[in-house]
Amino acid sequence: MHVTSLQIYPVKGARAVNCDQVMTNARGFRHDRRWLATDADNRFLTQRDCPALARLMVAPVAQGLSLSFKGRDDITIATPVDGKRRNVTIWNDRVDALHAAAADAWLSDALGRAVRLYYMDDEAARDTSGRWGAPAPVSFADGYPFLITTIQSLEALNQEIIRNGGALVGMERFRPNIVIDTDRPWTEDCWKVIKIGEVVIDLVKPCVRCVVTTKDQTTGESPGKEPLRSLGKIRRSAHPDLSGALFGWNAVPRNGGEINTGDAVEVVERRPEGWPLA
């Protein structure tokens, strides 16, 4: 087994950046989801409520972040280091983040609504819930540092989608960080701990998927109900504490290190019972 692709999402909800090599830290990949767009009340935005985020292209640069949006001049925002700190809300968490006010007008114009941009520096504290393993540092990701998927599971899902009369979906719909080429579909359900390079990773729970998976990741439009419709038929969780359609696994790194595309993936510890499905 080996890594086929690596992705970061510098601004939560915006387009992915494909990488050949990434560095891992306690919060996940370097530059991943350290920036957050919020509404005027400092509550986080995603493609669920702001589909135009799918059209926002971003890239980390030496001193900050480059932002691009079709029809507008690009802008580069310096990483704030001593700006105003404000509490932003992401799900049930409140995070003390730095306001990158220089981006607000540009982003608001691009996304068509009042938007603020915030940066999570090293002083900003946010942890995973602790429900599935010990609390661990996390960025502005939904809940965990990594999302891991496999090529073969997507192929199996697409076969089901075709049987249901739908159109194939790409892996980008699931917004993973690490995509692995393995020997059969859904084998990741039986991985408890894996190792990539020198980085040891705990797979803590499968990921319950939401409406963002139905959105085209270049336009933000929703062309139909797939892949959620088919996932609901073949991958619905039967665990009493986790309900919904599943694809991919949420994961936490134990240590820092470098991960490259092409790196071998070693299963260090297995979960023989897999995950209960309805």
Q: Which domains does the chain have, with CATH numbers?
A: 2-12+19-25+130-270 (2.40.33.20), 31-119 (no CATH)
Task: Please name which of 227, 245, 215 lies closest in space to residue 49, comparing C-alpha atoms.
Answer: 215
Looking at residue 202, its pLDDT comes to: 98
Q: Can you tell me the distance from the alpha carbon of 188 to that of 126, in angstroms, rounded to the nearest whole number?
A: 27
Spans of the chain below 50 pLDDT: none
Looking at residue 84, its pLDDT comes to: 85
Q: Can you tell me the distance from the alpha carbon of 105 to that of 100, in angstroms, rounded to the nearest whole number?
A: 11
Q: Can you tell me the distance from the alpha carbon of 147 to that of 135, in angstroms, rounded to the nearest whole number?
A: 17
Instruction: Check whether the bond before 80 is cis (ω within 30° of 0).
Output: no
Say if strands 246-253 and 199-208 run parallel, antiparallel, or are unpaired. Answer: antiparallel
Looking at residue 82, its pLDDT comes to: 82
- H-only helix segments in the chain: 104-111, 151-163, 228-234
- Quickly count: other Cβ atoms within 10 Å of residue 255's Cβ: 11
Looking at residue 83, its pLDDT comes to: 77
Q: Can you tell me the distance from the alpha carbon of 131 to that of 223, in angstroms, rounded to the nearest whole number?
A: 35
Looking at residue 61, its pLDDT comes to: 95
